[in-house]
């Protein structure tokens, strides 16, 4: 099962390392440009290579998906795949170098969570949500106009 | 632009957006009440929605899925809290698992819709969306991030195929 996500947020140091606001595509379809996040994460071509390589592996893609949903220990992740703890640890290290996940040590555990960057800020999140509703209302208005036209003709 | 105002209160974790439509209230309510109309606007063009269940009564459920460009189908649900046709609708909005059951691990948000007849015959619609916590907002955004990565992964797969 998922751990409770972000119960212990990243350290200030980790936050400082993060770069500017990242526009994300959401299930609501906020940002219409696919791959925008990816573009934002890509600060240079070396970094692009790292992201490409990190996401080219099915296990690593699965780890990223899990880590985006909540915090997991490396040992819990290792239990999910038919491979050794060391192999999973290597996968996590590749994702960490690509800045796709953040790994922190707590006691004896290594905890991994998705790097959701600057979207921590409540105002920024509300801004994104505003975009969701603006685009919904645009479509709402268009469909409504069609409905009303249909009723009068 | 039909949107007339937006208010955001980061402390209350609430966003209120108001729009005005040159339409009587009846058809505006229909946009929520008729599932075939609801699905025309709920999801973005890249993630069109399909409404499965649609029971707009207190305690009733609305369930839907959206179909993404990669064939992925994120699912969602509403639990209707209050409904007073054609003026008021309040519901909790959450994620569902692949079987369509509410994903209790994921946070929910509350949406309150208020429709008001205007003197000029038009209709004002106010949407008030409230998040339970900053963490919930982060997780909702992280879900979006996950989708973004899925999209990016799809593009990378295409590139790799093209290069092969």
Higher local confidence (pLDDT), B121 or A27: B121
User: A29 touching B, CB under 8 A?
Assistant: yes
B31 contacts A144? CB cut-off 8 A: yes
A48 touches chain B (CB under 8 A): no
Q: Is residue B74 part of a domain?
A: yes
ipTM: 0.79
Q: Is residue B66 part of a domain?
A: yes
Q: How far is CA A23 from CA A27, A41, B76, B161, in A?
A: 13, 10, 22, 27
Which of A26-40, B11-25, B114-128 has maximum average pLDDT? B114-128
B/e letters for A121-145, b = 16+ CB within 10 Å, e = fewer, are: ebebbbbbbbbbbbbbbebbbebbe
Partners of residue B117 on adjacent β-strands: B123
Å between B58 CA and nearest CA of chain A: 24
Mark A10-22 as b/e (b = at least 16 C-beta within 10 Å): beeeeeeebeeeb
The phi, psi pair for A104, rounded to 5°, reads: -130, 150
Which residues does chain B have within 8 Å of residue A112's beta carbon, measured at their own beta carbons?
A: none
Question: What is the Cα–Cα distance from B30 to B41, expressed in whole angstroms?
Answer: 12
Q: What is the pLDDT of residue A43?
A: 36
Q: Can you tell me the distance from the alpha carbon of B104 to that of B116, in angstroms, rounded to the nearest whole number? A: 34
Distance from C-alpha of A15 to C-alpha of B136, rounded to nearest angstrom = 19
Alpha-carbon gap, residue B129 to B112, rounded angstroms: 6
B40 assigned to some structural domain = yes
pLDDT tens across the length of chain A (153 residues) = 333 333 333 333 343 333 333 333 333 433 333 333 333 333 344 555 666 677 778 888 788 878 877 789 999 999 999 999 999 999 999 988 877 888 888 888 899 987 765 334 456 667 777 888 888 999 999 999 999 998 766
Quote the pLDDT of residue A5: 33
Tell me what the mean pLDDT of segment B32-40 comes to.
Answer: 95
Nearest CA-CA distance, residue B156 and chain A, Å: 7
E strand or H helix at B30: helix B25-33
Does residue B154 lie in a domain region? no
**Lowest-pLDDT choice from B22-26, B72-76, B126-130, B137-141:** B137-141
pLDDT digits (tens, 9 = 90+) for B57-91: 999 999 999 998 878 888 899 999 999 999 999 99
- Residue B101 domain-assigned? yes
Strand, helix or coil for residue A102: strand
Q: What is the pLDDT of residue B88?
A: 98
B48 domain residue, yes or no? yes
B123: CATH: 3.30.530.20
Q: Tally the domains of chain B.
A: 1
The pLDDT score that the predictor gives to residue A51 is: 67
Q: Is the pLDDT of residue B56 over 60?
A: yes
CA distance A71 to A113: 5
What percent of chain B clears pLDDT 90, i.e. is strictly above it? 48
**Which of A24, A27, A51, A133 would you mutate first to test chain B, the one with the most B CBs within 10 A?**
A27
Q: Give the range of the structural domain holding residue B102, as residue numbers without chain letter.
A: 3-134
Question: Is residue B114 in some structural domain?
Answer: yes
A27: which residues sit within 8 A by CB, 6+ positions away? Answer: B47, B66, B74, B76, B143, B144, B147
């Amino acid at each position: 099962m998922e751990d409770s996500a972000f119960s212990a947020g990243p350290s200030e140091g980790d936050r400082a390392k993060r770069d500017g606001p990242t526009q994300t595509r959401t299930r609501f379809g906020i940002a219409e440009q696919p791959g925008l996040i990816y573009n934002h994460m890509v600060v240079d071509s070396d970094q692009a290579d790292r992201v490409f390589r990190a996401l080219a592996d099915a296990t690593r893609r699965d780890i990223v998906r899990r880590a985006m949903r909540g915090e997991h220990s490396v040992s819990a992740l290792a239990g999910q795949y038919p491979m050794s703890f060391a192999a999973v640890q290597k996968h996590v290290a590749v994702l960490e170098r690509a800045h796709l996940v953040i790994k922190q040590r707590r006691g004896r555990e290594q905890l991994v969570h998705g790097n959701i960057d600057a979207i921590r800020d409540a105002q920024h999140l509300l801004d994104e949500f505003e975009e969701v509703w603006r685009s919904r209302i645009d479509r709402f208005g268009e469909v409504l106009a069609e409905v009303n036209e249909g009723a009068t003709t | 632009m039909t949107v007339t105002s937006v208010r955001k209160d980061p402390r209350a974790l609430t966003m209120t957006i108001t729009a005005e439509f040159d339409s009587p209230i009846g058809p505006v309510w229909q946009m929520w009440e008729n599932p075939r109309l609801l699905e025309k606007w709920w999801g973005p063009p890249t993630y069109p929605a399909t409404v499965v269940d649609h029971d707009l009564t207190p305690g009733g459920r609305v369930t839907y899925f959206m179909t993404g460009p990669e064939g992925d189908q994120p699912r969602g649900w509403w639990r209707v809290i209050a409904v007073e046709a054609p003026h008021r609708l309040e519901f909790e909005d959450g994620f569902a698992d692949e079987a369509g059951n509410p994903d209790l691990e994921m946070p929910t948000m509350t949406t309150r819709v208020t429709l008001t007849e205007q003197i000029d015959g038009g209709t004002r619609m106010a949407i008030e969306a409230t998040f339970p916590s900053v963490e919930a907002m982060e997780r909702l955004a992280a879900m979006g991030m996950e989708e973004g990565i899925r999209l990016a992964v799809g593009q990378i797969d295409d590139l790799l195929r093209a290069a092969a």
